[in-house]
Amino acid sequence: MPDLTTLVLFAAATLALLLVPGPAVLYIVTRSVAQGRGAGLVSVLGIHLGSVVHVVAAALGISALLAASATAFTVVKYLGAAYLVWLGVRKLMARPDDEDAVEPRPASRTRLFWEGFVVNVLNPKTAIFFLAFLPQFTDPARGPVAPQVVVLGLVWIALGMASDGAFALLASALAGRLRRSARSRRRLDVTSGVVYLGLGAATVLTGESAAAKA
């Protein structure tokens, strides 16, 4: 098992990475802005069920196989980029709400949860973390690597839920007034759609070089 010093260093490095917004944070923030605190927190749960998939893959060695195969990593990378682009296009194509409407038509909590799950399973930022970064904190001399990966992955998930939950609460609190205006909601949709498209493009351009370092 990782020693205390390793866990502290890993936690500090993980927090630094989690606080840099990526596709998961953007998804949580846009959902919190559009539908409020509850929607944001449900999105956080979906995101981190996706994190569990990455932890299990790393513990079973699937991440190592993915890192060793340029083709496999490229497939995952393009799937992630395509999903981000799809989310962006959907935001841009959304019909504006009636100006007299007080709230937009909400997406169901189930849909929010599973969309969050897919966003993080295909999130290149999370994938690269488990491919290239997390293994540096394991030590075969301290025993089997898989249990160490699980412990470090649980630390990642706990810190991720805390930081992403904070993003959700802050975004929902700041956006309360914006949700009352159809024009403001439309501007938020356009802005988030453009950012999703930008993240999709960035995934295609940067994912491969990061995988090569894994």
Q: Over the stretch 28-53, which tens digit does the pLDDT of each residue have?
A: 988 888 788 899 999 999 999 999 99
Q: Which residues of 128-137 are buried (b: 16+ CB within 10 A; e: fewer)?
A: bbbbbbbbeb
Q: What percent of the chain has pLDDT over 70?
A: 73
Which residues neighbour 119 within 8 Å (Cβ) at sequence distance 6 or greater? 23, 24, 27, 46, 47, 50, 83, 84, 87
Domain count, the chain: 1
Cα–Cα distance measured from residue 14 to residue 44, given in angstroms and rounded to the nearest whole number:
17
pLDDT in tens, 74-117: 776 677 678 778 777 877 776 655 444 444 467 788 999 999 99
Q: How confident is the model at residue 159 (pLDDT cuts 50, 70, 90)?
A: very high
Instruction: Find where tokens 């927190």 sit.
Output: 41
pLDDT in tens, 175-195: 766 665 566 666 667 777 777
Which residues neighbour 111 within 8 Å (Cβ) at sequence distance 6 or greater? none
Question: Are the C-beta atoms of 99 and 182 separated by less than 8 Å?
Answer: yes
Cα–Cα distance measured from residue 44 to residue 147, given in angstroms and rounded to the nearest whole number:
25
pLDDT at 160: 94
Nearest CA to 122 out of 89, 80, 153, 163 is that of 80
Report the pLDDT averaged over residues 12-34: 85
pLDDT at 211: 44
pLDDT at 59 over 50: yes
- Domain of 81, in residue numbers: 4-213
